[in-house]
Amino acid sequence: DVVMTQSPLSLPVTLGQPASISCRSSRSLVYADGNTYLSWFQQRPGQSPRRLIYKVSNRDSGVPDRFSASGSGTYFTLKISRVEAEDVGVYYCMQGSHSPWTFGQGTKVEIK
Amino acid sequence: EVQLVQSGAEVKKPGESLKISCQASGYGFASRWIGWVRQMPEKDLEYLGIMFPANSDIRYSPSFQGQVTISADISTSSAYLQLNILEASDTAMYYCARGEPGSFDFWGPGTLVTVSS
């Protein structure tokens, strides 16, 4: 299985400050069709996951533009330009280029 | 509006089996992949498998093959996850999620399964 490694696992952030989460895969996530199937999900406390980003850098509908993502091959990053209170939760990367799909361990974002 | 409505929380004894459901609405159920993800208490997300209802193409994670069975009923736009011979370690939240190439774009609220003697 492709191993997805996130860092940091815990991220205390001051409100209004930026935050960055990285995600590394054990294999390249470039699929045979040329796409890179790397997604980011947010899981707020007590809620189910919600997708924020698909195919590395595409924001889902309704996702605030303070969320951005980038990367290629085996290294990917999710950035929050200015953290707000509603951003508290656990963030997961997930690869869908290789079967079985696999998730990172999650990064817990909390307010300092 | 896309909706995935999952069946309610369950409490089971070790050795029992369980089938949980996920009823979809707001989109063409048969023509979209539907998958299942497990989240043990305070743990990460784990991919169990995915199914394309229109042709019953099912792909299991090798880690869960034989432990779970995924199925669907197009007539009711419902997907099912059967958990066989439950153990305490099966205690978890189980999510269904709508699939698209390489990702899940919409998740259900989850079904909490507790296995305890």
Could you report the per-residue pLDDT of B41-53, keeping only the tens digit for each? 989 999 999 999 9
Q: What's the distance, Cα to Cα, between the start and end of chain A in Å?
A: 35
Q: With contacts defined as CB-CB under 8 Å, which chain A residues touch B50?
A: 101
As a whole number of angstroms, the distance between CA B102 and CA B95 comes to 17
**A32 Cβ neighbours under 8 A, 6+ residues apart:** none
Residue A46's closest chain B neighbor by CA?
A: B109
Give the three-state DSSP class for A86: helix
**A14 Cβ neighbours under 8 A, 6+ residues apart:** A83, A111, A112
Instruction: Return the bridge partners of B91, or none.
Output: none
Provide mean pLDDT across the span B99-103.
Answer: 96
Q: What is the pLDDT of residue B1?
A: 95
Q: What is the pLDDT of residue B110?
A: 98
Instruction: Answer whether B45 sits within 8 Å of A103, measured CB to CB.
Output: yes
Q: With contacts defined as CB-CB under 8 Å, which chain B residues touch A60?
A: 105
